[in-house]
Amino acid sequence: MTEENKQVQPSGFNAPVKLDAANETNVAKASATAFAEIQAGMILARQYPRDEAVAWQKFTTALTREKMAERAIYSYPRGGTVIKGGSVHMAKLAASYWGNIWSGFEITRVTNDTIDIMGYAWDLETGRRATKPATIKKLIQRKDKQSGVTKWKEPDERDLRELVNKQGAICERNALFDVMPSDFRDDGMKYAENTLKGLYSNINEKKKKILKAFEALGVTAKMLEYYVDKEQWTEDDLVELTGIGNAIKEGEDPATYFAMKKEKPAPATFDLKGATMGDPKNHQGYEPKKAEPGPEPVPPPPQEPGPAKPTKRELFEKMPSDSLVHLISVKMAEVFADDTDAGNNFLEGAVGNGTIKPIAFEDQEHEALVNFALSLDAYANKDQGGTEPESKDSSPPDMKSMAQDSPKNETAEPKTETGQSAIEWPE
């Protein structure tokens, strides 16, 4: 090339790359070497063609070995079901016995966020060639130690290399199965499953091994039991879990498998025990019920009346005559202190009505004194007008307080040296 810098577009690249003269020479040498290798492989393939029967026998015999059978299948979820397929190890095993195949993967483009890779397989004997491209993001899943939540993070150099190798191997596997007969994949899976079923005759022992293997992949025994969803595991369950383990090792996320099983809804029953009609207020045409009258209140049992309060007559009758005479004299002086005529008129009226006989106060006729005291009490309460009506409880009014409220009561009762009343009118 005459120019120092040229843009070249190598096979499989999507963007031009500027190369100087020295690099152009290196690229030319690498291209010539690759072309020579391919040409030599095709010549050898024509000279030594494969023996398909021998290749098939060796391939199926290899799948009878436990370790090879365990690594030969994988499983992945899709549409609520689990799809099984041949793993990367099965594809490489079949290619090694089939022979005359050139396979691998290469990185075709790198950006800040993604990497483009392409897996290829070339049957040098028949000339059939297949490529399987893929684009992967520069992200990996890691569990946060503090929160325990799995998050996507940017990988370091080592993690990025492992990510590219895993995805490149998957692309290479798909290309190999594309150029080889399909029975190598389909029948090879059956051979591997039959081998595993024969080895899994002791279910409990193999179950322990699988639980231990999944524990190293971050899958707990409880997650596996929830996935299988049955008490007794079968040989098919063990084979399926083996395939899932291989898929996880190839880069699949465990959450994709163990999050697809959802709790089964409870079967519908017609047992109406405990069923409710909901809030009646939300029903159509709801009308609140009228409150039903409750039972009539039970009246309290009648209480026995206590002892009746003594009337003034009873009090007066219990007093000695001399004390009653003295009490009447004091009360007369209190009621008629400023009105002698009214007092005389009251005395005349009392005598005329037969309340007392025209005798002196020293008279000892007790009944007449009691009647006179009652008349005087009524006169004092009614302010010299009428007689006192009988109260409902047969107890007389407060003679003393009513006499104090009367406008004619301006003369105080006789007092003792201590300031108390000399005589108390009976209450």
Please give the Cα distance from 292 to 78 (Å, whole number). Answer: 64
Distances (CA, A) of 352 to 70, 335, 363, 364, 371: 141, 20, 18, 19, 13
Specify the pLDDT at position 18: 54
Range of weakest confidence among 214-228, 245-259, 267-281, 299-313: 267-281
pLDDT at position 391: 39
pLDDT band at 231 (very low <50, low <70, confident <90, very high): confident
Residue 4 in this model has a pLDDT that exceeds 70: no
Predicted pLDDT of residue 393: 38
Give Cα 347 distance to the centre of its chain. Answer: 97
Q: State CA 27 to chain mean position distance.
A: 65
Query: In the structure encoding, which two tokens stand for residue 158, read together?
Result: 């080592």
Does residue 398 contact residue 385 with C-beta atoms inside 8 Å?
Answer: no
Distance of alpha carbon 37 from alpha carbon 102, whole angstroms: 10
Secondary structure percentages of the chain, helix, strand, coil, to 5: 45, 15, 40
Contact 156, 140 (CB under 8 A): no
Q: Tell me: pLDDT of 179 over 90.
A: yes
Secondary structure of residue 101 in the 3-state scheme:
strand
Name the band, by pLDDT with cuts 50, 70 and 90, for residue 229: confident
Dump pLDDT digits (tens) for 348-391: 777 666 666 655 555 567 778 788 888 877 777 765 454 444 43
Q: What is the pLDDT of residues 22-36, one digit of tens each?
A: 667 777 777 788 778
Alpha-carbon dihedral sign for residues 348, 349, 352, 358: negative
Whole-number pLDDT of residue 43: 85
Residue 73 phi, psi dihedral angles, 5° rounding: -125, 160
In one-letter notation, the amino acid at residue 16 is P
In the chain, % of residues over pLDDT 90: 18
| pLDDT at residue 58, rounded to an integer | 93
| Helix H or strand E segment including 76 | strand 73-78
pLDDT at 205 over 60: yes
Residue 344: band (very low, low, confident or very high) from pLDDT cuts 50, 70, 90: confident
pLDDT tier, 326 (very low <50, low <70, confident <90, very high otherwise)? confident
Q: 6 CB contacts (<8 Å, ≥6 apart)?
A: 18, 19, 24
Which tens digits make up the pLDDT trace of 386-416?
444 443 333 333 333 333 443 333 333 444 4
pLDDT digits (tens, 9 = 90+) for 86-96: 899 999 999 99
Average pLDDT over residues 273-277: 61
- Core vs surface per residue 128-143: b (16+ CB within 10 A) or e: eebbbebebebbbeee
Flag whether pLDDT at 53 surpasses 80.
yes
Those residues with Cβ within 8 angstroms of residue 377's Cβ, 6 or more apart along the chain or in another chain: 312, 331, 388, 396, 399, 425
